[in-house]
Chains A and B, each alone.
Chain A
Amino acid sequence: MSYIPGQPVTAVVQRVEIHKLRQGENLILGFSIGGGIDQDPSQNPFSEDKTDKGIYVTRVSEGGPAEIAGLQIGDKIMQVNGWDMTMVTHDQARKRLTKRSEEVVRLLVTRQSLQKAVQRSMLS
């Protein structure tokens, strides 16, 4: 999923709606993120393009809200509740996911299997 700076990014996305789980004082989603424009993209084990500074899902807790909603490890998060996640710092990304006033977050995620499935169906 490489991109050319200045050109619009297009991707096939999957909608994932996660209902946060209350654990005491906190609302958790049950996954971990990696990446950001302030991070080193070459260390990202999930990205196809090693210059991609997007936010990726690095771990999904078993039985957690994210797993139930269908989020998978290796997914790239494009948007959270309308906010862009392709050009954010790591901390900004974390903050947009953990707003206390929001109990539901709607993500747009993309994964390589989606991209390939669309390509296959277009060829047939």
Chain B
Amino acid sequence: MREGACKLLAACSQREQALEATKSLLVCNSRILSYMGELQRRKEAQVLGKSGRRPSDSGPPTERSPCRGRVCISDLRIPLMWKDTEYFKNKGDLHRWAVFLLLQLGEHIQDTEMILVDRTLTDISFQNNVLFTEAGPDFELRLELYGACMEEEGALAGAPKRLATKLSSSLGRSSGRRVRASLESAGGLGSSPILLPTPAVGGPRYHLLAHTTLTLAAVQDGFRTHDLTLASHEENPAWLPLYGSVCCRLVAQPLCMTQPTANGTLRVQQAGELQDWARVHGVLKGTSLFCYRQPEDADTGEEPLFTIAINKETRVRAGELDQTVGRPFTLTISNRYGEDEVTHTLQTESRGALHSWMEALWQLFFDMSQWKQCCDEIMKIETPAPRKTPQVLAKQGSLYHEMAIEPLDDIAAVTDILAQREGARLETPPPWLAMFTEQPALPNPCSPASVAPAPARTHPMPWGRPRTFSLDAVPPDHSPGAPRSVAPLPQQRSPRSRGLFNKGPPRTWLQSPV
């Protein structure tokens, strides 16, 4: 993939393509380094493991490791903080930036799509779902925001070729170690940025704009805002005015919640009936022990006969008490519901079976203590949608800009603007249209923005941006005693079509289907 990216970069003519190619290249390099590092670690661990370790005796293992889980981060949104002069006036060239997020968990690195940002955007929103499998409860998800300027930074004539040739030679072991060492030493305060610095001069340069690290404490089945550590300052060419936080949905699904951890035949003592034991097929999954009539029911999706909850408050005991003759190998599960305590007694088939059930339950309790809030309920993870090709940022603008109406306004212009924005949605005329077609029987005595009927247009409004009128302001030709014409003049600018700000108290309560 690296070879391909190098070739592509050399062939790039447009800045955007070059940015995309550079991003792929840099991400590739970082991945290679990270996997090499992981390989090294595993080899070392293997060597250490082989020497000087006694085989564990029977009994509970002293080191219990928590189960793995899937961690998914989605709906990433980073608010921007433009100066209001920049946002509204919109004068001058439109500076554009290309940004993307790099996410690292353990040795896996994933990137989001590249998004083009300019000053008409209030937030950088990433549509991706990024999924990491094989995460432990002690995971550290490092999030880094990289940006590059869309405008050319310098002469680029022969540079792409130089970049390509330098990178196409593979990273040898010694040079790799050197780079890694320099990275590790460079990270004085915290860990160093994941991305390697661009080795050659040419090609667009990505700068680290902000970073943060998320852990299990940040996981929640909902949206949360986290602080970002800003890493660049105004002198940096790729600096963006970041508000300083990132909003996202970070969820984790430990495997113990989604996969069955134990199953087998059990005999369950029915409540109240000492001698009546039902034979069931038990499946331990998540925070419940499902008891099915037959083993096949678990697969076919049949409802279980009953379900025993297993959560942090459940108490389990390998029962030596209540051992009636001929009923060995029992265990009891007790749950407290308010004032009552409900105890189920289960009999397994053999000592080995009892041992493995107890082992599975202890492992589950351990996992629940490690994964904490992730074991309260299964958090949903959607399969990540296939990556779309990066779209050129259409000049979005805000509602204000799109409602700009020329002085020669008429209703057709308004409906046209809306029709363009919404495509075919406006088959039925919108409800507010009725306001314009019928007589505006309500003159606006309170609204200072209303134009007096006699002079059709005293001052044509230069429609640069919406303006709020002070409620005290009185237009020069407004006289309270003058009779107000009720009949509309066809050329008269209707006060309501001026935009959101100038129409006085809202009169409608619209309803829209979604």
Segment at the A interface, from B83-91, B232-240, B337-345, B506-514? B506-514
Is the C-beta of A113 less than 8 angstroms from some C-beta in chain B?
no
What class of interface size applies to chain B in its complex with A?
A: 20 to 34
A31-B513, A94-B514 as given contacts; A81 in contact with B223, CB under 8 Å: yes
Alpha-carbon distance A104/B247, docked complex (angstroms): 17
Size bin of chain A's contact surface: 20 to 34
Q: Does B7 have its Cβ within 8 Å of any Cβ on chain A?
A: no
Contact of B399 (CB < 8 Å), options: A43, A58, A91, A97: A91
- A17 and B77 CA atoms in complex are apart in Å by 19
A81 to B191, CA, bound (A): 31
Contact A32/B249 with A39-B508, A40-B508, A82-B75 known, Cβ cut-off 8 Å: no
The answer to whether A104 and B382 touch across the interface, beta carbons within 8 angstroms, is yes
State the Cβ distance, B512 to closest chain A Cβ, in Å: 5
- Tell me which residues from 19 to 50 in chain A have a Cβ below 8 Å from any Cβ of chain B: 28-29, 31-36, 38-41, 43-44
CB of A101 closer than 8 Å to a CB of B? yes
- Which residues of B from 46 to 75 have beta carbons under 8 Å from A? 75
With known contacts A89-B399, A89-B500, A101–B509 Cβ distance under 8 A? no
Tell me the complex Cα distance, A106–B224, Å.
Answer: 13
Chain B residue with the shortest CB-CB distance to A45: B509
- CB of B399 within 8 A of CB of A90, answer no
Tell me the bound Cα distance from A97 to B514 in angstroms: 7
Q: Which of B77, B223, B248, B510 has the most CB of A within 10 A?
A: B510
- The CB with the most chain B CB atoms within 10 A, among A15, A17, A40, A41, is that of A40
CB distance from A91 to the nearest CB of B (A): 7
Closest to B506 in A: A40
On whether A34 and B509 interact (CB within 8 A), knowing A29-B514, A82-B247, A104-B382, the answer reads yes
A-B residue pairs in contact (CB < 8 Å), sample of 7: A33-B511, A33-B514, A36-B510, A39-B510, A82-B248, A94-B512, A98-B514
User: Which residues in B have some Cβ–Cβ distance to A below 8 Å?
Assistant: 75, 77, 127, 221-223, 247-249, 380, 382, 385, 399, 500, 505-514
- 4 other contacts beyond A31-B514, A90-B510, A97-B514, with CB at 8 A cut-off? A15-B221, A28-B513, A34-B512, A82-B247
The 6 closest A-B pairs by CB, nearest first: A82-B223, A43-B509, A34-B511, A40-B506, A97-B514, A32-B513
